[in-house]
A = this chain, B = another copy of it.
Amino acid sequence: MTFDELFVPAALRDAVSDGAWLAGMLEAERALAAATASAGLVPEHAASAIAEACRGDFDVAALAADGRAAGNPTEPLVRALCARVGGDVAASVHFGATSQDILDTAAALVARDATMLVRQELEGAARECARLADEHRASVTAARTLLQQAVPTTFGLKAANWLVGVVHVRNRLGALRLPAQLGGAGGTLAAFGDNGLAVLNAYAQELQLPAPVLPWHTRRLPLAELGAELAVAAGFAAKIALDVLLLAQTEVGEVRLDDAGRSSTMPHKRNPVGPVLVRACAEHVRAAAAALLRLEHEHERAAGAWQSEWKALSDALAYAGGGAAALRETLEALEVDTERMRANVRAETLSEAERFAPAAREPDEYLGAADALIDRALAFARE
């Protein structure tokens, strides 16, 4: 919402669009038909007809508007599917499922695909961090604490710290997968008789999603943890962006962005736009994650908390991806001025090291384990 194109790459906008949610819902209905058919609960020909109908076009804006009466878009979609398949087959549509089964499964599919895009952008950012860490082992710069110069370090070690963080969140995001959802109205799989667990497993397998231990209609931990980890990813991207912005300040001038932004009034200005976008995106991810951390879903289906997840999940994914993409672009465009870095180091900045290594005379002699730490970071990234 509001200038999305400015913040979120097209692929991610698509991946969390209402169209993507609709595709997920249709895939869930198709998988349900297949799974119930395999258990002999609905006829095979009905499952085929439903699969065919699920390949059709639906007006998702109209479904959403129509869903206002039911409180969710599944109910009008099921009606539309029934109308399409017609006759006897309609009785096999949505067999044994509840609206939340379909929508939660769509959420799992949307999250899976969008998270992959987020991770790709993080992968690109990690590649740049690794390159910078390796290339700038000897690029002496001032370590800054509380925004004051402290002691010498290298820009390579700074980038190594970024690298370890980016790889960490990429790995954590890779380990989080939302399971398929199927439970029926009360979470008992009652409509499937003795075949409940079999249908659940067949359904998850059709969807290539993990099967849950139990239906998770009101046990929303995976969604909360995904939201939180997206917020961590976006927040750490923003940490790197902030470092870049501080290094790019006019008075510091240690880095520049070679595609720096145009100003509407000041032709001389080269605005560091990429890191600005990263930081703006992080606010939206954190806001959305806060909504996903509200786990108080009543009884067997929540009266509000569930319905607030859809937008929150889309926002968290889209802006985490927007931030990761802008971070990657920022790092790709980063021009490092190693001479300025060295020249900026103040004489007094060497003083602490001198206390411990009085024979040393150049900042390069006070770098301690910086190089060895870079090796550790690169090894961690390769694991």
Contacts and interface: CB of A to CB of B under 8 A. Distances in A.
A3 B16 contact: no
A316 B311 CA distance: 13
Nearest to A168: B221
A261 B71 contact: yes
Nearest to A61: B5
Contacts of A307: 276-277, 279-280
Interface in A4-42: 4-7, 16, 18, 21
Interface string A85-115: 0000000001011110000000000000000
Interface in A46-100: 61, 64-65, 67-75, 78, 94, 96-99
A3 B64 contact: yes
Contact of A71 (B73, B158, B271): B271
A69 B185 contact: no
Given A75-B264, A312-B283, A271 B146 contact: yes
Contact of A161 (B7, B64, B187, B377): B187
A28 to B, nearest CB: 12
Given A187-B153, A280-B308, A265 B352 contact: yes
Number of this chain's copies in the assembly equals 4
A218 B161 contact: yes
Interface in A292-316: 293-305, 307-308, 310-315
A367 interface: yes
A184 interface: yes
A165 interface: yes
A184 B65 contact: no
A367 B190 contact: yes
B250 A149 contact: yes
B147 A6 contact: no
B248 A147 contact: yes
A242 B298 CA distance: 7
Contact of A289 (B172, B187, B293): B293
A368 B190 contact: yes
A161 B70 CA distance: 26
Interface in A230-273: 231-232, 235-236, 238-239, 241-243, 245-246, 248-252, 259, 261-273
Interface stretch (A118-126, A191-199, A202-210): A191-199
A122 B210 CA distance: 26
A351 B266 contact: yes
Contacts of A68: 5-7, 273, 277
Contacts of A269: 145, 148, 150
A334 interface: no
17 contacts: A1-B4, A1-B318, A4-B311, A6-B71, A75-B263, A98-B264, A147-B299, A147-B303, A148-B269, A150-B269, A160-B214, A188-B367, A191-B353, A236-B295, A239-B295, A283-B305, A287-B291
Given A151-B185, A266-B351, A284-B312, 9 more contacts: A1-B315, A145-B301, A147-B245, A161-B215, A168-B221, A225-B232, A268-B348, A286-B293, A287-B290
